[in-house]
Amino acid sequence: MIEKDEWIPYTELDWNDDKFNVFSIDTRDFHAGYRLEEKGHKDYDTLAKYPEFFHTEEEIKILLKRYYDDSGGKRDWRYFALIGVSNWGFKYIRIWRSDKGFIVCNSDNVAFKKYLLDVEIDKEHL
């Protein structure tokens, strides 16, 4: 991927580009930014003990497509939340690539286990 001044549609991300390891998905319009963080996720040493925090590239693509589709698809703006899991905490979905797979976090870089990410989208404010 080439560094750009503006965010790109999440579907254009190259999840395995060595120049980037953190991907931020803005759930208001599902555009994405990306960067390199040399140190990796702050809680990696703890998370590494639990496989339920790590996703494959294919799992990430399926998850994001479901979130995008179930929250209304192409839109200028939306309020994205998961039932019982978040409120505005998922304004950005932060995804960290590691040697064990991808870690999915909320806006504050709090990692979530797969089963919590599999809940339904809260459609009350869409």
Sign of torsion over alpha carbons 83, 87, 89, 91: positive
Mean pLDDT of each 10-residue bin along the chain, 126 residues long: 85 96 97 95 98 98 97 90 82 97 96 95 84
Query: What is the predicted pLDDT for the residue at 108?
Result: 95
Query: What is the predicted pLDDT for the residue at 1?
Result: 79
Question: Quick check: 117 and 69 in contact, CB under 8 A?
Answer: no
Query: So where are the chain's domains?
Result: 8-117
